[in-house]
Structure 1
Amino acid sequence: MSDNLIDETANYVLDLASPQRLSILFKLLEKESTPTEMAKKLDSTKQEVHRNFTRLTESGLIEKNLDGKYLLTTFGEVVCTQVPTLVFLSQNRKYFEEHSLGEIPHKFKMRCGQLAAGNHIKGFSKVMEQWKSIYKNADKYIYEILSEVPLDLIEPLIKRVKIGVRFNYIFSESAVVPKGRKSLLKKLGFGKLVEKGLVQRKMADNVQTVLVISEKEACVLFPDKHGESDLSEMFYSDDPMFHEWCLDYFRYCWYGSDVFKESKLKE
């Protein structure tokens, strides 16, 4: 990238470095407005809002239509799609001081603004309770990407599968498998569920990012700075955009995974 392009981009970043200008952009994303109308919405002075409208217009982010109202330009609309990523990372800066985005492809990192509506849940017990709640609320499917298997989650999951909830999951070849897993699965009739097609399984070389999705909710657990999965913290939401990101990532991993081999798992 040339120095001129870098300088130009830096100027756009400065234009966005204002809470009020960002508020104006997102308000205009919802509905066209005049500076006077916007001043009332933002509980601000007409003069201040007018100055920010002028600056955003000069930057090519907004424009005035024939009715005298302002709306986003195509450039402004695209910029608004990128801001949530900054919001997500900024809101969770402390979390990402200890965690990374792991093995996630660049195209999904670019879309992580879709996770901005997620609630940060901290503490192993709280994470497990929310995980169980996702199972309980699922009526159509449960999809998972797993690096380890918490033993107390197996029975609540299988109960849902037995009433017809489809279960697809990806296991890491190096998954941490608790003692007693095989005997518990046998006791609960897991093999028959696989035979009926209610359960489909695949395997990946190394899972770092853990995912749990139903048709209503989703959660994602990113790895620590060393690339190890961390089940003590997660982001959870029933927001459609959050869910879309998680579902798309699961599908990406599913089609890139290998055949499941139980023999590779060791208790």
Structure 2
Amino acid sequence: MTDLIDEAADYVLELASPQRLSILFKLLSKNLAPSTCAKEIDATRQEVHRNFSRLEKTGLIKKTIDGTYTLTTFGKSICTQVPSLVFLLQNRKYFENHDFGNIPHKFNMRCGQLAISEYVKGVSKVLEQWKNIYKNSSEYIYEVVSEVPLDIIEPLVKQIKKGVKFNYIFSEPTVVPKGRKALLKKLGFDKLIEKGLVERKMMTNAHTTLVLNEKEACVMFPGIDGESDITEMFYSKDPMFHEWCLDYFRYCWHGSDVFQESKLKEI
């Protein structure tokens, strides 16, 4: 085991270089000669040649018949792991006060898909982006929530009335604002459920808040105390980010139970 740990540490050292990482990611999209790569990453030929040699020696890249270099299968696999490290390093301060909650480990391992995203902080900014996801929807809106701000209800119902499908999962118990029932009744929410435009479920614990439409998504992780936090979010239109959110929603939907209004907590 000690030998394996030492070997892993050696590979981490090889990746601990902005230029070597740049080379690897360039080779993800196309084969390159060191001289061409040097121009693309704005570095000296001597530097790049030296780093190509190091990467070849460690088995991350290999030389092709035409003199260019390509990633090995091992190199490609290593590149898929780097975005997770990038995401966590970019948001190290955020994760000092937040946690992945009860998200299954398989989604934690895929957190690199969240790397291309915008960090949004502040209740007003978060709610504005939340409502924009509603506004930009044309096919569906999916949500996993444990807290429902009153401000988002009318914009949501407006989109559903246009034919946008709304599927949501409430945590047990979700915190809902006073006046929610009266507002939903006034807006004709029950009729939308009857028409099949709204489907709802409930799960025991949904610490992570998720909102997405067919082209954009946001995710809000809980605080380290396990309570939901809708004052900060990660938002993106990136396909990989969206895929992570959609897959997590589907996982939650499959594992959820029947919706029970009586379990909601009104404050």
How far the C-alpha of 1:30 sits from its partner, in A, is: 1.1
CA distance in 1 between counterparts of 2:139 and 2:41 reads 42
Superposed CA deviations along residues 62-105 of structure 1, whole A, max 9, x for unmatched, are 00010010000000001100000000000111111111111111
CA distance in 2 between counterparts of 1:121 and 1:48 reads 38
Question: Which residue in the other structure is 1:145 paired with?
Answer: 144
Question: Which residue in the other structure is 1:239 paired with?
Answer: 238
CA distance in 1 between counterparts of 2:72 and 2:214 reads 35
TM-score (normalised: structure 2): 0.98
Superposed CA deviations along residues 12-63 of structure 1, whole A, max 9, x for unmatched, are 1000000000000000111101111111112211111111000000110000
How far the C-alpha of 1:266 sits from its partner, in A, is: 3.3
CA distance in 2 between counterparts of 1:111 and 1:31 reads 24
Structural mapping, 1:35-54, within 5 Å: 35-54=34-53
CA distance in 2 between counterparts of 1:118 and 1:101 reads 17
Question: Which residue in the other structure is 2:255 paired with?
Answer: 256
Unaligned 5+ segments in structure 2 are: none
Letter in 2 for 1:110: M
TM-score (normalised: structure 1): 0.98
CA distance in 1 between counterparts of 2:55 and 2:15 reads 9
Unaligned 5+ segments in structure 1 are: none
How far the C-alpha of 1:265 sits from its partner, in A, is: 1.5
SS of the aligned residue for 2:93 comes to helix
Superposed CA deviations along residues 190-225 of structure 1, whole A, max 9, x for unmatched, are 001111110000001121100000001100000011
Question: Which residue in the other structure is 2:10 paired with?
Answer: 11
Question: Which residue in the other structure is 2:175 paired with?
Answer: 176
Structural mapping, 1:47-196, within 5 Å: 47-196=46-195
Letter in 2 for 1:13: V
SS of the aligned residue for 2:99 comes to coil
SS of the aligned residue for 1:60 comes to coil
CA distance in 1 between counterparts of 2:253 and 2:97 reads 27
RMSD value over aligned CA atoms?
0.7
How far the C-alpha of 1:247 sits from its partner, in A, is: 0.2
How far the C-alpha of 1:229 sits from its partner, in A, is: 0.6
Percent identical among aligned pairs is 71
Letter in 2 for 1:68: G
CA distance in 2 between counterparts of 1:188 and 1:30 reads 50
- Using the TM superposition, name which of 119-128 and 171-180 deviates more: 171-180
Letter in 2 for 1:145: V
CA distance in 2 between counterparts of 1:199 and 1:42 reads 50
CA distance in 2 between counterparts of 1:76 and 1:255 reads 35
Letter in 2 for 1:108: F
CA distance in 2 between counterparts of 1:40 and 1:134 reads 40
CA distance in 2 between counterparts of 1:156 and 1:41 reads 46
Letter in 1 for 2:9: A
Runs of 4+ residues over 6 Å off in structure 1: none
